Amino acid sequence: MSTPTTTLRLRPALRARIERMAKRARRSFSEVTQDLLDEALRMRECPGIYFADEPAGREAKIAGTGLGIWEVIRDYVAAGKEEGALRASFPWLSACRDRPLPAPASGDRRFRPWLRP
């Protein structure tokens, strides 16, 4: 899928940090920058959420708990709670109204696509 080109002026020190991250991850500058912007926007939209490196990749977590968002959703769904109750209990889900919650039989790691497009 092609994406439109956007010109962005970065401070030299910031650009150097992103270049180092890209080199370590063996990814392009553009890919790393897009991921950083995506995570920053998600954290702004959903206070209390942060992203951490896990063996399976980056994962959204709930600050102060160390729990992955997928774990909370899994447990709520497995307990038979309704989607409305889940969304009411966790304000950060309000920012994700366009994403349906996964079915209980999905399995733990299948919750990851719900968290990251």
pLDDT at 15: 97
Give me the pLDDT at residue 73, please: 77
Residues 39 and 77 in one domain: no
Mean pLDDT of the chain: 78
Domain count, the chain: 2
Spatial contact of 36 and 15, defined as CB atoms under 8 Å apart: no
> Using one digit for the tens of pLDDT, what is the confidence trace for 48-71?
888 888 887 788 888 899 888 878
Provide the total of helices (H) and of strands (E) in the chain, helices listed first: 5, 2
Per-residue confidence at 108, pLDDT binned at 50, 70, 90? very low
User: From CA 31, how far away is CA 21, in angstroms rounded?
Assistant: 11
More reliable by pLDDT, 102 or 13: 13
pLDDT at 96: 58
Contact 32, 22 (CB under 8 A): yes
- Is residue 83, in this structure, part of any structural domain at all? yes
Helices (H), ranges, the chain: 12-25, 29-45, 69-78, 83-89, 112-115
Residue 81 makes CB contacts below 8 A (sequence gap 6+) with none
111 and 57 share a domain?
Answer: yes
User: What domain range includes position 18?
Assistant: 11-45
Does 80 lie in the same domain as 91?
yes
Whole-model pTM over 0.85: no
1 part of a folded domain: no
Packing angle between helix 12-25 and helix 29-45, nearest 10 degrees? Answer: 110
pLDDT at 38: 87
60 and 95 assigned to the same domain: yes
